[in-house]
Amino acid sequence: MAISFDDLVQRAEKRNRHKVKTPFVMKMPNDEPDLVVERPDAVKSMQFEETSTAIGQLRILLGKDFNRVWELFRGQDISVATMLISQMWEHWDDSDIRVVEGGKGA
């Protein structure tokens, strides 16, 4: 039996309804406009997973805003960059590990 792409989309939307769809927002220093990062779509997410470096992951997630953020990392520890990446994914709740309501640990 064949499945349609539309059916896959509907099933994925149902599975992901707990995930936050709002953009990640970070206040920038020196009264610059806030950094606003939209939740990545499937293509960006797969590109992100394919990239094993922090700089590559930031380029994918930040897109046109990469250069705005790049200079902020100068003189900082790499953990600042990895923390930004983690904070974005935590905001979007992109974790397949969830507590099942009524299950153990709930």
Radius of gyration (C-alpha) of the chain in whole angstroms: 17
- Amino acid letter, residue 51: T
Residues 99, 106 contacting (CB under 8 angstroms): yes
Q: How far apart are CA 23 and CA 29, in angstroms?
A: 19
Does a structural domain hold residue 28?
A: yes
Does a structural domain hold residue 70?
A: yes
Q: Is the pLDDT of residue 7 over 60?
A: yes
As given in the structure block, the two tokens for residue 6 are 């539309």
Residue 85 Cα distances to 15, 34, 67, 75, 97, angstroms: 23, 16, 15, 18, 18
Does a structural domain hold residue 74?
A: yes
Does a structural domain hold residue 11?
A: no
Does a structural domain hold residue 26?
A: yes
Does a structural domain hold residue 78?
A: yes
- Burial bucket for residue 58 (CB in 10 Å: 0-12, 13-18, 19+): buried
Residue 29 DSSP one-character state: S
| Domain count along the chain | 1
pTM of the model: 0.76
pLDDT tens string 53-101:
999 999 999 999 999 999 999 999 999 999 999 999 999 876 543 334 4
